[in-house]
Amino acid sequence: MTSYSDLGLVNTKDMFAKAIKGGYAIPAYNFNNMEQMQAIVQACVETKSPVILQVSSGARKYANQTLLRFMAQGAVQYARELGYDIPIVLHLDHGDSFELCKDCIETGFSSVMIDGSHLPYEENVALTKKVCEFAHSRKDYVTVEGELGVLAGVEDDVSSEHSHYTQPEEVEDFVKKTGADSLAISIGTSHGRTKFKPEQCTRDANGILIPPPLRFDILEEIEKRIPGFPIVLHGSSSVPIEYVKMIEKYGGVLKDSVGIPEEQLRKAAKSAVCKINIDSDGRLAMTALIRKVFAEKPDEFDPRKYLGPARDELKKMYMHKNINVLGSADRA
């Protein structure tokens, strides 16, 4: 059994308290491989930003959970080597069972999400409470994220066709009964690169899809009912048009891509939203650069020569988000 403090990791408690007070959000970036991890750590060290490293069940299956845990431990050392000791959380993204959360906690995760959002309300409460009781009774307090409301799109192995917004009337009761440390809500974001159907959007003069705004009215209602409580936004990739265009220029097909505009995330980050989840944008940036290298250098076959540029682009993108969108730069 491993305790996260022995690995140099921290939980989200202090991070979130500071983020709410300071009017910014902590980046929660998913990683599945070494290049993504390097880009995240380099970007967060250079911008002096706290960071949450997220591991999904899919990532555990792809990369092996033991390797990912040791990579996170390595990330702490790597950040120090790069010259700045930023706070790093290792978080389970979309945990779907008590057993999975327990396993992660026992191998050194400092934070877990138990996603019971697809369950009937009372079952979601019971499952989240069970995970909280276990996580909070550890020598090192492990923080727990719960979820109310359903995001459309793919949530790991669970996919839902239709979203439903978080009902503000439920949040106070949920937080009180479960003991959760933060709450993921549904106010219009969704996972993946097609966050809205074209018929939900308008188009600008260039034919680019403009999405409807997030439901800030629901967020405000939630904030009134649980003042100062840490709120999490999943599905917060912006799906940058430059990456979509680059992928399409070099042979990809990404029809009807649309994300959450940066100004909406900037606004959310100033509220009680203190964790913003971003995965798809990293996938887009990597894919764009890899396609570019393949198209421009057809004789290249050294993976370092295409993964390297992809990693550099990822780092640039994460730095931009920390500095210009989430406001987490210089907060470490």
Contact residues toward ligand G3H (CB under 6 A) are 30, 56, 58-59, 93-94, 155-156, 191, 279
182 counts as binding ligand 13P under rule CB under 6 A: no
| Pair 46, 321: CB distance under 8 Å | no
| Pair 237, 278: CB distance under 8 Å | yes
> Which residues, numbered 68-97, are part of the site for ligand 13P (CB under 6 A)?
93-94
> In the structure encoding, which two tokens stand for residue 1, read together?
């059994």
Residue whose Cβ sits closest to Zn ion: 234
Is position 279 annotated as part of the catalytic site? no
Instruction: Give me the least distance between CB of 156 and ligand G3H, in Å please.
Output: 4
Residue 309, contacted partner among Zn ion, ligand 13P, ligand G3H, none, CB below 5-8 A by kind: none
Phi-psi domain of 209 (left: phi exceeds 0; alpha: psi -120 through 50; beta: other): beta
What are the beta bridge partners of residue 275?
26, 232
234 counts as binding Zn ion under rule CB under 5 A: yes
Instruction: Give me the least distance between CB of 152 and ligand G3H, in Å please.
Output: 12
| Pair 155, 56: CB distance under 8 Å | no
Dihedral of CA atoms 210, 212, 216, 219 in degrees, nearest 10, equals -110
Q: How far is CA 58 from CA 73, 119, 154, 158, in A?
A: 20, 21, 12, 11
12 counts as binding ligand 13P under rule CB under 6 A: no
| Pair 20, 301: CB distance under 8 Å | no
234 counts as binding ligand 13P under rule CB under 6 A: yes
Instruction: Give, for 233, the enclosing helix (H) or strand (E).
Output: strand 231-233
117 counts as binding ligand 13P under rule CB under 6 A: no
Instruction: Give me the least distance between CB of 276 and ligand 13P, in Å please.
Output: 9
- How many chain residues touch ligand 13P (CB under 6 A)? 14
Amino acid, res. 330:
D
Instruction: Give me the least distance between CB of 111 and ligand G3H, in Å please.
Output: 15
Which residues contribute to the site for Zn ion (CB under 5 A)? 234, 277
Which residues contribute to the site for ligand 13P (CB under 6 A)? 30, 93-94, 191-192, 234-237, 277-281
Catalytic amino acids?
A: 93
